[in-house]
Structure 1
Amino acid sequence: MNLNAFIKTAMPIAGRYKKILLVMRVTVFLLLMGLMQVSASSVAQRITLSSKNADLQDVIEQLRKQSGYNFLYIKKDVLGRAKPVTAQLNDVTIEEALNKIFTAQPLVYQIKDKTVIIKPSLDKPSVRAEQKPVTGKVKDETGETLIGVSVLIKGTKTGTVTNSEGSYTIQAEPGSVLVFSYIGYQTQEITVGTESNINVSLIAVAGGLDEVVVVAYGTQKKETVTGAISSIKTKEIKQSPAANLAVTLAGRLPGLTSIQRSGQPGRDITQLFIRGQGTVNAQSPIILVDGIERDLTYIDPNEVESVTILKDASSTAIFGVRGANGVILVTTKRGTSETPEINFVAEAGAQDFPRFISPVNAYDFATLKNLALTNDGLPAEYSSQSLKYYKTQEDPLRYANTDWRKLLIKDYSYQQRYNLNVSGASKTTKYFVNAGYLNQGGQFNTEKDLSYDPSFKLNRYNFRSNIDIQLNKNLKAFLNVAGYLEQRNSPYALGGDNPTDWIIYFMNRMPAVVPGPLTPDGQVITYSDIDHPAYGLINRSGYTQQKRSNVLATYGMEQNLDFITKGLSARAVVSFDARTVNNLEATRKYEKYIQIINPNLQGADGRDSVYYRPFNNDQNTPLSIGGGRNFETLSNFQGFINYAKTIGKHDFSGMLLYQQQNNVINNELPFKLMGLASRFTYGYNSRYFLEFNAGYNGSEQFAEGQRFGFFPAVSASWLISNESFLQNNPVVNLLKLRGSFGKVGNDRIGSRRFLYLDDIQVVGGGFSGSLGNAQTINYNLLKNAQLQWEVAKKYNLGLEMGLFNQFNLVADVFYEKRDNILRNRGTIPELNGLPISVLPPVNIGVVENKGFEVELNYKKSFNKDLSVLARVNLNYATNRQIYADEPLLPEDYAYRYRETGYRIGQMFGYQVDRYFRDANDIANSPVQNVGGHESRPGDFKYKDLNNDNLINERDMAPIGYSTVPEYQYGAAFNLTYKGFDFSVLFQGISNVSNYYSDQGVFADKNYVARHLESWTAERAASGMPINYPRISTQSNPNERPNSFFILNASYLRLKNMEIGYSLPSKWSSAIGAKRLRIYANGLNLFTWDKLPTKEFDPELTNSRDYPITRLYNFGVNFTF
């Protein structure tokens, strides 16, 4: 490595680290100042109030101001029943104030976090009898304790709430009924008998209207949401042992398609699509973690509270120029309970390859090689005696039968994960601190006595600290600090980002007849057709090591501005994200040898002698060290003005946001984004809701005068179940219609920047650099100063229905038309001196995308011991390219377009009719000129689609589906019984195709089991099954894109399964724990598909990819 170059590279990076340190110092200073404010203002959180015959709404407003607590209630249910309030309170706690105020009210309340939920109570007189203390714990359907659950004696105002451990104590008489209620959960009633301990398991309500859901830059009550939104909570996320959070989401959210393209540790690439594909350019959604852009790959699932996807224009218009592909919002956990809670999780698992290509043994290889040569009219390579020895293995030194898969692939590798978090709260401060460690091993065997480690493996350390501080009654602040350190390791192989590509390629080429892996003196053995044996690539080529580090600090403050007008507040958030990637490459050359058998010289045993000669001139060399460093910073500022007001039956709210983002990668010019966003909502009588969202954004991707755009959306909903004719209906507990329309954009239009500028290059030499002396000016690309973002016009209609407080149905239909898609011109004729490749891309593409989504949930708690949850979802999204500026092919083409009118990713190939039977059959069939190769008996006979008696590219037709599925579906089932819990998730995709080719598929250099049933005249004559065309050692017309190799990649997968047991509290308390749960789960356990061989994984696109792993995992969870 050049030391001077390294120092020059490091100097500006060191400067950036100074900026990071400065930001961190400022952050710590602000935190300390906040803590001082906490100390100074803690007394101010107590309540002082004097009222006489005051309206309850005014009293609640006073409590909200003094306590900082939020109040949640339905006005018509609460204010319509409320009595005037007369109270004299002096320096009391919020709990004491609430007890005093609500003593004479026909209402009950419960406290969750810092939210007070008020509901009507039944006010029936009751005859009191002798009471006794009743105690117990309240948990959810997964066994987690619930804090703040209201426990009320039915028909009275006597009640309590559960504490930080989920426990309660209440005085009740035998025969009385305890009513357990909690926001978002089904109310449960239990009659008090002779027992003094009653434990309860609550199950979440299907579609509870008082549930708070995450939306863009805020939250809303579920009843007021007018857009298309889906979300899952941490309990579902943690049921999967996947190392990548993106893998965890597969099959769980309607509208989200998750496809895993690799299983390599640290490189388990996952493609995400929201409602399919709407463009040929960047298609992935924007991912925000607590409002800041991040990558799902590096997030510890244990720090995630919820994941929400925003799908329609109403939900994403606020993101303006970046909202067209949908948005994924990740919300991390924060402190809640006033009692500190420590949670520790330890997991260990074993993973393997459920599907991997396995070449045939040595005897079958030799037999098939002879057959291929015979098919080509060439002499056989292996004699009958050789075939005998390969079959009997009497002489394994000379007639090897090497199982390269067993030699190079482990039976299993390990994965382990540890996580420790602490959360809690005081009157003014909430905190959540999390630390995690993940270790994932690779499946390839490596030598143990090397001086370096070439194995595939991943080590990742995560950290997060979320702190919320109530500085005084009108001012609060928060500080989030998160980061990770990651180290990936892999063999160097032939370099590049994906060493697996070459390792598996040459592994599948290596036949079993090659001995190995080493000569008697330890040198790598190869084969005449293989320059790079897989064993050498794994062990002797060196290694690569990538170290990634990241730190993200986000600081925000929110000021109550009620002194200006009630309901007004301001919020400011600033974040700084620094990411570093250090790449180390340690490479070396190594000797390779070929085994030679000399039939003219016999050994002592009388058999042909064996020796090894060098394959080429490579010599063993020491490691050569090189590498590089990349540095990236992302700074973001957000300023909010929020307003909320209620006037009688009318609810108003508004938000105005200014955002500016600056992204610097190494020494490149910054990527900049800035703009305004707004939201206005109106609700009438909790029945009719209207919402307007808009973004006005600017992007540096475009020329001045073209950088800013306005993206509005409007949506409305009608909550029919709140109408008088449907209220309190025993069957329909929820009925809601909603619709939206809007315009959103996409500025991610390609990897090249500054397309609005000419790309000019001076090439050639000359004296003193003077132009005209052997120098020329080349236009690489002409500018397009009118370049703009893509524009997506989206429509959505939705229905939400709840039945019997157990079933919940959500259905949406959507339509999108996206235009201004950046594409290269295809219909302009070439001009003299100006090739088409120099012409700039223009905003001419048009794509139509449409579909539907359905989700059905069933939740029921049968009794305190048994509850079930079932969820199924199905989404369908299909697209069509309306305009691609594609030249119309001549009339003699069977299909005159390759893109226009078809789905994005549609594949074309030849349609296989049957196999050619003999030479006469070939002579009487249309002439096949496929790849310039002559057809022979046993080759594919393709269909002559244009009827010109000639098979060529004019007969190519659309085959199968796109590479992105039209259908995605999932089915989850959860059951809890006493301390046991069980969950299972099935996930699948449909109407999707892949082109399977290359090593392990084609009969090239090596063979697999499928080739044993290839075409021969004998098999054809006897009617035996034929599963492959004639094999050959030469190029042929068969191994081309056609309907034989373009296969239906639809599948149904048992994605996750988990079974757990929570020990009784008396057992866990014996070791000082509040709760102790043990569990086992699995990932990618079984797959059903339509592929002709079970060696292919339907999610992978070619045979070189690192296979997707199956994981068996065991864990224990302690809570203290």
Structure 2
Amino acid sequence: MDTLSDNLPVPGATVKIKNSSNGVATSVDGTFQLTYEGKAVLVVTAVGMTTSEVNLNGQKTVSVKLSYSSQGLNEVVVVGYGTQRRGEVTSAIATVKSENFTKGAVRDAAQLVQGKVAGLRITTPTGDPTGSTQINLRGLNSLTGTSEPLILIDGIPGTLNTVAPEDIEAIDVLKDGSAASIYGTRATGGVILITTRQNRSESRNSIEYSAYANVQSIVKKPEMLTADDYRRLIAEGVNYTDLGGNTNWLDEILQKPFSQNHNLTFFGGNSTTNYTGSINYRDWEGIFLKTGQERLTVRAGLNHSMFNDKLKTNLQIITRTTSSKQGGADGYAYRQAIIRNPTDNIYTADGRWQERDAYNYDNPLGRINEANNDNTFRETRMNGSLDYRPIKDLSLKMLVSRVQNNNLNGYSTTFQHVNTTKNNLNGTAGRSTYSNKENLLELTANYTKSINHHNFTLLGGYSWQDAVYEAFDVYNFDFPTDAYSWNQIEAGTALQRGLSTMNSEKSKWQLAGFFGRLTYNWNEKYLFMASIRREGSSKFGVDDQWGTFPGASVGWRISKESFMKNVTAITDLKLRGGYGETGTIASNPYASQSSYAFDFAEGAYINGKWVQGFVPTRNFNPYLRWEKKKEYNAGLDFGLLKNRITGSFDLYSRKVEDLLYNFRVPVPPFIYETMYINAGTMKNSGFEALINVRPVETKTITWNTSITYSTNKNMLENLSNDQFNVTAEFFDAGYTGEPIQQSTHRVKAGGAIGQFFVLKSVGVDENGKWLVESKDGSTIPIAESSADDRQYYGNGIPKHLAGWNNRFKIKSFDLEINVRGAFGHDVLNMQRMYYENPANEDYNALKTAYDPVYGRQLNNDLVYVSHYIEKADYVKIDNITLGYTLPAKLKGVKNARIYVSGLNLFTITKYKGLDPEAVSYNNDFTFAPGIENRDAYPTTRTFTAGVNVTF
């Protein structure tokens, strides 16, 4: 027997006898074998295709032809607190199934969909094995809160690393306000719904094993002066020092990392009770010495149904342990390897680390090898649900979860570390820990009804969430021995001298919400959705703890109209529009409350004893509330030529009000000089496009290709609050570091976000000093410039993002090629700014440091000028994976595939730095995007070989 679609084999389709546990999956050539007796009904299902049923009555062979569902219109899409058929969705929701995930070695869940969702920017700015991807949806939406999406794992808040990428079945992205408003204050950055792999078929009894091994290399090394270059320059009169050695310091701190990953998944059970289990082990090494991370993730899920499927239960537990050992290999050690004199030696004559007296100038190998930095993170997630259906159309569900994690870190340096040899600390040690417990309860009722052509669902629910966070850390130095690292931290005599440090903290917050949603469609032609959430948070002022977040969207399936019947080229056409409001919550749970702290510097002598002062550190603000985003979205979904071409277009406009910002306020009447208040408005608009094409479909070759494109524009409208009578025209962001010590960006009311604010360089004078443009447009020496001469120059946020994803299948071979690009942005090349100027001859420099600038040799102190801000457009050949599915000849083996893969293979760019994508734009860099930091852990290129086997 075999399954066909357009006369092509369909591997992996589920074939079963109806109302039984008798079932199999089709092989790579679409064939299957199944035994039955008498009369029966054969049910065949496959992702993206319509279900087919065949009546059996003794046949020995049968061919089943499947057709593609209309644009996957019957495909189930996960939305907030439920699911919808793709054809009924009226909001901007993107779905990526496991078969379309990026193949090969990926860092976390985000890399599975990198370049596959329009408007979702995912980058990997570091090669650090302990690092993660950065993710942003539709631009920036907050001043001090997070712009990252809310991430839910099977409905439970989590992170991109909560489950192993191999354990994910689908990722749905709620992009616009109408889709995300059901999640209220947590959803301004969008919502990412991760669905783990489950045993959804009563006939699924299998074991799947996947494994890969990979090697990594640094993408690009900075081209620093070599020992030979030093000696040539010394002969030319440059004041370098020849120390007699010949050392490539960067090569000395690098290693050739070998990493591996193993994943084992179990499916079993029957229609009443079934289970899913998975074990994932990952051991990744870094390109720096003494860097790496081990991770073990175990997940178990159990489903059980009772009372003729009226009551369904689910229990799930996920445990995750991550261990990393860093030594002293961090960004600062990388900096030391770059600036180190290449004629210096690693060791002194007596075998110690060779150190020198220059400022911030340490032996990188000494820093790495004479430090220990171990970190262990443990998380346990337990959740369960009861789904009771008292009548056919009504579902009552209760979901409860408990997430508990803790982190333990230890750091120490030996007597041979520069902390002792140069700074006389005589050994240092620190220990820190934190724990977080988070509880969630959700009660929902979902009613579904169809009356003639009228179809509707009604959802109502209640949600409660609370969390308790605790942390403690201690630091000491001056030890009698370095043999114990941090394990006898009390032995350091700095404790007795009052020079050690100790800190502890505890915080708690609660969140409660009531929500509802109505969806309606008439004959799947006219579509409507409306939702509302009423939510309260303990993080806000006593007078503003509750907020309301509505959302609504409509859709018109134009292709269902009678006047479209003869338009055969258009298979499906849907116009949709929506509006929704979401919020951004304060990160500090006590931001609205006044606070005091003890401070030695503010103390006084009382009765011959110094008593610490008790001073205010935060003002009381009972009116503190969340930032509120209001978003409009218009979209078009289409399918052409029997869905050989499908896609969607979205146009959106956002406005974020009541921005949270820390203003300076007068003392008195306030007790502290700054105050966290709601002030300001931000605007955000953009366009997104997704086009999927099946250009080639023959018996031996198929080619699926998709293109994503997005553009986004951010602007700060104002930054003021009438209630507290405060206004700011701008704020500065970013920092160059020592010795320049300047901000890099300025965000001005009425202006775009992400703009560099810098002295514009226009030349070099005969003495090698910079010439810059003054505020009135004239050319002046840099020594005569002032802060008023700085101007806006370039922007670190790309105007355009694009992705091109291709999947080929040629008989038993499969090939995937993913390409991404970012355009219309600039990057501050900090390595050039610091190392392409030979001002400090104690430090090494780039080979280009002695090249003419504006036709002259540069002879200027280190400064921040526009010369180092570069156009950074790029196209990355991001991933290429070649796989081969073995013939189904091994007994007991249902499917086996081997593959090789390359990640971050090649970058086409005119940018002179190491990697135009190696920039941070989250957290401290949210408003200072586009900086390639001189201390960044370099990005890597990965080559992988792997295997997938199903038994």
Fold similarity call, TM over 0.5: yes
Per the alignment, residue 325 of structure 1 pairs with 189
The alpha carbon displacement at 1:543 in A equals 0.8
Per the alignment, residue 735 of structure 2 pairs with none
Q: Secondary structure at the match of 1:1080?
A: strand
**Whole-Å separation in 2 of the counterparts to 1:987 and 1:286:** 24
Match among 382, 401, 411 for residue 585 of structure 1: 411
1:692-707 correspondence to structure 2 within 5 Å: 692-707=530-545
Q: CA RMSD in A?
A: 3.4
Deviation per CA, 1:408-433: give whole Å up to 9, x if none: 212x2111100110113412123211
Q: Secondary structure at the match of 1:778?
A: strand
Q: Secondary structure at the match of 1:1044?
A: helix
Per the alignment, residue 475 of structure 2 pairs with none
- Is 1:532 aligned to 2:362, yes or no? yes
Deviation per CA, 1:576-628: give whole Å up to 9, x if none: 111111112232121779xxxxxxxxxxxxxxxxxxxx975869x7x766423
Match among 546, 566, 573 for residue 375 of structure 2: 546
- Is 1:438 aligned to 2:282, yes or no? yes
The 3 A distance-change label for structure 1 pair 978 and 425 is farther
**Whole-Å separation in 2 of the counterparts to 1:650 and 1:633:** 45
Per the alignment, residue 791 of structure 2 pairs with 957
Per the alignment, residue 800 of structure 2 pairs with 967
**Whole-Å separation in 1 of the counterparts to 2:224 and 2:46:** 59
Per the alignment, residue 355 of structure 1 pairs with 220
**Whole-Å separation in 2 of the counterparts to 1:140 and 1:955:** 70
Per the alignment, residue 488 of structure 1 pairs with 324
Conservation of the 8 A alpha-carbon contact between 1:819 and 1:845: yes
Q: Secondary structure at the match of 1:536?
A: helix
- Is 1:1075 aligned to 2:895, yes or no? yes
Q: Secondary structure at the match of 2:507?
A: coil
1:449-848 correspondence to structure 2 within 5 Å: 455-473=290-308, 474-491=310-327, 493=328, 499-515=329-345, 517-529=346-358, 531-540=361-370, 542-562=371-391, 566-590=392-416, 616=422, 626-666=430-470, 668-727=506-565, 729-748=567-586, 750-751=587-588, 753-759=590-596, 763-767=602-606, 778-804=615-641, 805-825=643-663, 838-848=673-683
Q: Secondary structure at the match of 1:590?
A: coil
Conservation of the 8 A alpha-carbon contact between 1:140 and 1:203: no
The 3 A distance-change label for structure 1 pair 283 and 1096 is closer
Q: Secondary structure at the match of 1:668?
A: strand
Q: Give the structure-1-normalised TM-score.
A: 0.71
Report the AA paired with residue 661 of structure 1. Answer: Q
Per the alignment, residue 1044 of structure 1 pairs with 867
Per the alignment, residue 483 of structure 2 pairs with none
The 3 A distance-change label for structure 1 pair 900 and 777 is same
1:250-265 correspondence to structure 2 within 5 Å: 250-265=114-129
**Whole-Å separation in 1 of the counterparts to 2:4 and 2:650:** 39
The 3 A distance-change label for structure 1 pair 368 and 740 is farther
The alpha carbon displacement at 1:1092 in A equals 2.4
- Is 1:291 aligned to 2:159, yes or no? no
Per the alignment, residue 346 of structure 1 pairs with 211
Report the AA paired with residue 749 of structure 2. Answer: T
**Whole-Å separation in 2 of the counterparts to 1:569 and 1:583:** 46
Give the unaligned 5+ runs of structure 1: 1-133, 152-159, 172-177, 190-195, 375-379, 387-397, 446-454, 494-498, 594-613, 890-894, 919-936, 1021-1025
The alpha carbon displacement at 1:992 in A equals 2.9
**Whole-Å separation in 1 of the counterparts to 2:745 and 2:378:** 51
The alpha carbon displacement at 1:912 in A equals 1.7
Per the alignment, residue 275 of structure 1 pairs with 138
Question: Identity over the aligned pairs, expressed in percent?
Answer: 24
The 3 A distance-change label for structure 1 pair 1001 and 228 is farther
Deviation per CA, 1:926-945: give whole Å up to 9, x if none: xxxxxxxxxxx223211123
- Is 1:147 aligned to 2:26, yes or no? no
The alpha carbon displacement at 1:481 in A equals 1.0
- Is 1:1114 aligned to 2:945, yes or no? yes
Deviation per CA, 1:276-329: give whole Å up to 9, x if none: 112222211111101111111342011101111111111111011112111111
Report the AA paired with residue 630 of structure 2. Answer: K
The alpha carbon displacement at 1:1076 in A equals 1.1
Q: Secondary structure at the match of 2:866?
A: coil
The alpha carbon displacement at 1:1104 in A equals 0.9
Deviation per CA, 1:695-730: give whole Å up to 9, x if none: 111111112231111110111000111122224743
Per the alignment, residue 984 of structure 1 pairs with 817
Match among 224, 241, 244 for residue 105 of structure 2: 241
The alpha carbon displacement at 1:996 in A equals 2.2
The alpha carbon displacement at 1:799 in A equals 0.3
Report the AA paired with residue 615 of structure 2. Answer: N
The 3 A distance-change label for structure 1 pair 726 and 183 is farther
Report the AA paired with residue 872 of structure 2. Answer: A
Per the alignment, residue 310 of structure 1 pairs with 174
- Is 1:882 aligned to 2:712, yes or no? no
Conservation of the 8 A alpha-carbon contact between 2:3 and 2:66: no
Conservation of the 8 A alpha-carbon contact between 1:641 and 1:655: yes
Match among 746, 749, 760 for residue 900 of structure 1: 749
Conservation of the 8 A alpha-carbon contact between 2:628 and 2:658: yes
Per the alignment, residue 762 of structure 2 pairs with 913
1:845-860 correspondence to structure 2 within 5 Å: 845-859=680-694
Deviation per CA, 1:48-92: give whole Å up to 9, x if none: xxxxxxxxxxxxxxxxxxxxxxxxxxxxxxxxxxxxxxxxxxxxx
Deviation per CA, 1:1051-1090: give whole Å up to 9, x if none: 2111111000001112x33xx3111111011111111122
The alpha carbon displacement at 1:201 in A equals 10
The alpha carbon displacement at 1:791 in A equals 0.8
Per the alignment, residue 7 of structure 1 pairs with none
**Whole-Å separation in 2 of the counterparts to 1:285 and 1:959:** 30
Q: Secondary structure at the match of 2:905?
A: strand
**Whole-Å separation in 2 of the counterparts to 1:915 and 1:201:** 74
**Whole-Å separation in 2 of the counterparts to 1:896 and 1:514:** 38
The 3 A distance-change label for structure 1 pair 633 and 181 is closer
Conservation of the 8 A alpha-carbon contact between 1:987 and 1:1053: yes
**Whole-Å separation in 2 of the counterparts to 1:737 and 1:789:** 32
Conservation of the 8 A alpha-carbon contact between 1:206 and 1:806: no
The 3 A distance-change label for structure 1 pair 311 and 400 is same
**Whole-Å separation in 1 of the counterparts to 2:399 and 2:114:** 32
Per the alignment, residue 102 of structure 1 pairs with none
Q: Return the structure number with greater helix share.
A: 1
Conservation of the 8 A alpha-carbon contact between 2:632 and 2:652: yes
The alpha carbon displacement at 1:490 in A equals 0.4
- Is 1:429 aligned to 2:273, yes or no? yes
The 3 A distance-change label for structure 1 pair 625 and 883 is closer
Conservation of the 8 A alpha-carbon contact between 1:899 and 1:906: no
Larger Rg: 1
Per the alignment, residue 124 of structure 1 pairs with none
The alpha carbon displacement at 1:333 in A equals 0.8
Conservation of the 8 A alpha-carbon contact between 1:206 and 1:859: no
Conservation of the 8 A alpha-carbon contact between 1:143 and 1:1062: no
Conservation of the 8 A alpha-carbon contact between 2:819 and 2:876: yes
The 3 A distance-change label for structure 1 pair 576 and 518 is same
Deviation per CA, 1:1095-1117: give whole Å up to 9, x if none: 77644631211111110000011
Per the alignment, residue 734 of structure 2 pairs with none
The 3 A distance-change label for structure 1 pair 475 and 381 is closer
Conservation of the 8 A alpha-carbon contact between 1:875 and 1:969: yes
Give the unaligned 5+ runs of structure 2: 36-41, 54-59, 471-504, 721-726, 731-743, 921-931
**Whole-Å separation in 2 of the counterparts to 1:1082 and 1:432:** 31
